[in-house]
């Protein structure tokens, strides 16, 4: 996994608040990984200035069932933000 350091915390916080990330479950997994071979998985790690880390994730056979509401929109916006920072 790539680590991207965001200097402008206000932009990141605005994005996280837009998608209510603070209210996401820590884990959306609902299936035993031993019961399937192919599936979908994701994780989001947030490290704060004080060093604390918050993690959200999910894995399973149904992307819709293991992701929060508007997850694809969040990923799209996050990728755009990261691309802008890396340019």
If you average pLDDT over each of 28-32, 45-49, 68-72, 81-85, which comes out highest?
68-72
What is the DSSP secondary-structure string of 28-58?
---S-GGG-SS-EEEEEEEE-TTS-EEEEEE
CA angle 19, 28, 31 (to 5 degrees): 155
d(CA 22, CA 76): 18
Quick one: CA torsion of 58, 61, 63, 67, rounded to 10 degrees? -30
Quick one: CA torsion of 64, 75, 20, 43, rounded to 10 degrees? 70
Q: What is the pTM of this model?
A: 0.83
Write out pLDDT tens, residues 15-61: 999 999 999 999 999 988 888 888 899 999 998 889 999 999 999 99
């Amino acid at each position: 996994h790539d680590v991207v350091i965001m200097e402008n915390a206000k932009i990141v916080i605005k994005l996280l608040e837009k998608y209510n990330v603070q209210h996401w479950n820590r884990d959306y997994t609902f299936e035993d990984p031993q019961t399937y071979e192919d599936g979908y998985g994701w994780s989001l790690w947030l490290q704060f200035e004080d060093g604390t880390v918050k993690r959200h994730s999910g894995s399973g056979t149904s992307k819709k069932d293991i992701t929060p509401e508007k997850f694809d929109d969040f990923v799209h916006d996050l990728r755009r933000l990261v691309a802008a920072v890396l340019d």
